[in-house]
Amino acid sequence: MQLFHTIQDIRQYVADKRAAGRRIGFVPTMGYLHAGHLSLVERGKREADIVIMSIFVNPLQFGPNEDLDQYPRDLERDLQLAETVGVDAVFAPSVREMYPHQQLTFINTELLTDNLCGASRPGHFRGVTTVVGKLFNIVQPDKAFFGQKDAQQVRVIQQMVADLNMPVAVIGCPIVREADGLAMSSRNVYLSPEERRQALILNQSLTEAQKLFEQGERSADVLTDYVSRRIQLAPFAKIDYVKLVDLQTLSDIREISGESLLAVAVRFGGTRLIDNIVLQP
């Protein structure tokens, strides 16, 4: 596995692979890898010849009061894990390498970023789309792999790629969970044992809502009220949102008639967790 820190070096690596006719798969991450990230690599290995992973904690997507400084980082450990699943090259640039001077150009995807995490985290998706756009220009992948855990992110990036005619296929991959159902996240390490125990309510309540849906419930109010009430039973949980939205537009719906996303964001102490489930009539 090769490690690159500069744009020039990764560009050269990609140019050589492309000249040899290799299809490039790309997995962008912020590091502190877990099995969720590794599942994206495994999918990439099946669908491309070369898998490049980026590890970059992108300051642009963190708000002023968010956890940029506390975000967990361990490049050595990440490199070992990346190697075990067959990553071919890691691109781990510094902030200076990615933002050598004040960035004045941004990618902004409208409407899709107004709801859900976009509403709670102003500027977050502008930071995500801008850095992913930069990374796509640097790595020039044929396919890029993103986790459905960040369902809004997948949708926004698919829209960006379509709107800006970027020559990359964006592939959404299933959420990987711990054995007890908690969606894997680099932020789970912040949870105290008690917070972690209570956080199981996210997946549990979503799964129960799915059962109600399968039994015929179609009302957004009924389903979101159910999930909210279940989560509120966890004493440490502070709900940011519980929403049922159309999977394409990400805007609120009243009744489920097409593919829909039931999504939650909940704080446990200083840790904000998200989870979701797709409901398909």
C-alpha–C-alpha distance, residues 186 and 57, integer Å? 12
The span of 3-11, 75-83, 99-107, 147-155 binding ligand AMP (CB under 6 A) equals: 147-155
Closest CA to 91 of 17, 39, 183: 17
What CA–CA distances, in Å, run from 145 to 54, 66, 105, 137? 12, 25, 24, 16
Q: How far is the CB of 31 from ligand AMP (least distance, A)?
A: 6
Closest CA to 237 of 186, 203, 278: 203
By C-beta, is 113 or 186 nearer to ligand AMP?
186
The residue sitting closest to ligand AMP, measured at its beta carbon, is 147
Residue of 5, 37, 101, 124 marked catalytic:
37
CA–centroid distance for 220 within its chain: 24
C-alpha dihedral over 69, 152, 275, 179, to 10 degrees?
Answer: -90
- Does residue 183 touch ligand AMP according to CB under 6 A? yes
- Does residue 146 touch ligand AMP according to CB under 6 A? yes
Candidate residues 185, 188, 198, 260; the one interacting with ligand AMP per rule CB under 6 A: 185
- Does residue 60 touch ligand AMP according to CB under 6 A? no
CB atoms within 10 A of CB 131: 22
Task: Report the relative pairing of strands 169-173 and 237-246 from DSSP bridges.
Answer: unpaired
Q: Map the footprint of ligand AMP across residues 155-174, applying CB under 6 A.
A: 173
The span of 2-10, 30-38, 46-54, 65-73 binding ligand AMP (CB under 6 A) equals: 30-38
Closest CA to 197 of 186, 181, 209: 181
- Does residue 149 touch ligand AMP according to CB under 6 A? yes
Q: How far is the CB of 103 from ligand AMP (least distance, A)?
A: 19
- Does residue 175 touch ligand AMP according to CB under 6 A? yes
What CA–CA distances, in Å, run from 102 to 24, 105, 106? 30, 9, 11
CB atoms within 10 A of CB 82: 27
Q: Which two tokens stand for residue 223?
A: 């389903």
Q: How far is the CB of 105 from ligand AMP (least distance, A)?
A: 22
Candidate residues 53, 184, 245, 279; the one interacting with ligand AMP per rule CB under 6 A: 184
By C-beta, is 149 or 243 nearer to ligand AMP?
149
- The 3-state DSSP class for residue 29 equals strand
Q: Which two tokens stand for residue 264?
A: 């939650």
Q: How far is the CB of 218 from ligand AMP (least distance, A)?
A: 28
The span of 9-17, 102-110, 144-152, 225-233 binding ligand AMP (CB under 6 A) equals: 144-152
- The 3-state DSSP class for residue 184 equals coil
Q: Which two tokens stand for residue 275?
A: 């989870």
- Does residue 116 touch ligand AMP according to CB under 6 A? no
- Does residue 150 touch ligand AMP according to CB under 6 A? yes
Known active-site residue 37: yes
Candidate residues 10, 30, 87, 234; the one interacting with ligand AMP per rule CB under 6 A: 30
Binding site for ligand AMP (CB under 6 A): 29-30, 36-37, 39-40, 146-147, 149-150, 173, 175-176, 183-186
Q: Which residues are catalytic?
A: 37
